[in-house]
Amino acid sequence: MVEPLVSVRNIKKYFDVGVGMLKAVDGISFDIYPGETFGLVGESGCGKSTAGRTIIRLYEPTHGEVIFNGRNIYQLSRQEMREVRKDFQMIFQDPHASLNPRMTVEEIISEPMEIHKVYKSSKERRNRVMELLNLVGLNEEHALRFPHEFSGGQRQRVGIARALALNPKFIVCDEPISALDVSIQAQVVNLLKKLQDELGLTYLFIAHDLSMVRYISDRVGVMYLGHMMEVAKSEELYQNPIHPYTKALLSAIPIPDPKIQRNRQRIELEGDVPSPINPPNSCRFVDRCPYATDVCRKSTPKLEEIKEGHFVACHRAREF
């Protein structure tokens, strides 16, 4: 039995917004195994990016634990955290905003190496930078350029190279393709898959493009309003969704065949996403769910294994 590389256990991240607590992430749990890609999907504002940042402690958690390589990283001191942080990195959503415009590409990629003192000489750092540029499909002449001289896709490649600078084991990809042209998105995702195969990387891939998540992910978790609604292997989730919210999400994916697209039934949800500030103790999806009953309004369903490897948080999951 393979041990998980990352175990997320009931993590919560609340923000005090003056009128109450905004429960961005409200008790989610899942495992990520070595060498796999775990996709995290859901509509905008559901807490995906906050979850990713909380898992690697860019945000300090409100509650819960993350076991990384057998250690609860939420209990580590700042000095211990500095050492462990080399093992996990992040690729940010907007490559324009996440790269310092006053630094050259060489300076951007070598900065993590300088901070963690992993190379003794500037020559060793420079050689490593050139190696990383080649690895992500750029070349040595790009090293002395500034971020504004690149296209969006090239800037994201620089961001990927920076994330790889310290040889991490785990990378959080926070919607790494959403700010890119559609024609470039596939290139970046294929690069991530290639790097995973070559370097043995483990990914948490956060996105709202369900087709791309299906392509890159081994397992997928569906979030709604800070809660995890469903977790399953990628093909299982897309072929046999159980939670009503997952079914509605998947029905919105366009199909390139016009005949199938015309004849398929789109599940349209009524109402709006409720406020995450001081939510009631009920199923988060209850006001938009066509199958809701009294029990759904009285208690929050737990994420339970309905069939092997397929977890659902729904009081009526076994009826569907």
Task: Tell whether the model's pLDDT for residue 261 goes beyond 70.
Answer: no
Look at residue 146 in the predicted model and tell me its pLDDT.
96
Q: Please check whether residue 31 is in contact with residue 309, taking contact to mean a CB–CB distance below 8 angstroms.
A: no
The domain locations on the chain are 6-226
Maximal C-alpha separation, the chain = 67
* Residue 179, amino acid: A
Look at residue 225 in the predicted model and tell me its pLDDT.
94
Q: What is the mean predicted confidence (pLDDT) over 173-187?
A: 89
210 pLDDT tier (thresholds 50, 70, 90): confident
Look at residue 256 in the predicted model and tell me its pLDDT.
65
CA distances from 303 to 191, 221, 269 (A): 33, 11, 22
- Count CB neighbours of 300 within 10 A: 17
Predicted TM-score (pTM) of the model is: 0.93
Look at 212 and 50; give whichever has higher pLDDT: 50
- Phi/psi at 293 (nearest 5 deg)? -125, -175
Task: Tell whether the model's pLDDT for residue 262 goes beyond 70.
Answer: no
Q: What is the mean predicted confidence (pLDDT) over 60-66?
A: 96
Task: Tell whether the model's pLDDT for residue 48 goes beyond 90.
Answer: yes
Specify the length of the chain in residues: 320
Domain 6-226 has CATH 3.40.50.970: no
How far is Cα 229 from Cα 313, in angstroms, rounded to an integer?
5
Look at 179 and 17; give whichever has higher pLDDT: 17
268 pLDDT tier (thresholds 50, 70, 90): confident
Look at residue 260 in the predicted model and tell me its pLDDT.
58
165 pLDDT tier (thresholds 50, 70, 90): very high
> Mind listing the pLDDT tens digit for each residue in 6-28?
999 999 999 999 888 999 999 99
- Count CB neighbours of 118 within 10 A: 15
Q: What is the mean predicted confidence (pLDDT) over 257-270?
A: 66
Which one, of 32, 8, 12, lies nearest residue 23 by Cα? Answer: 12
Look at residue 69 in the predicted model and tell me its pLDDT.
86
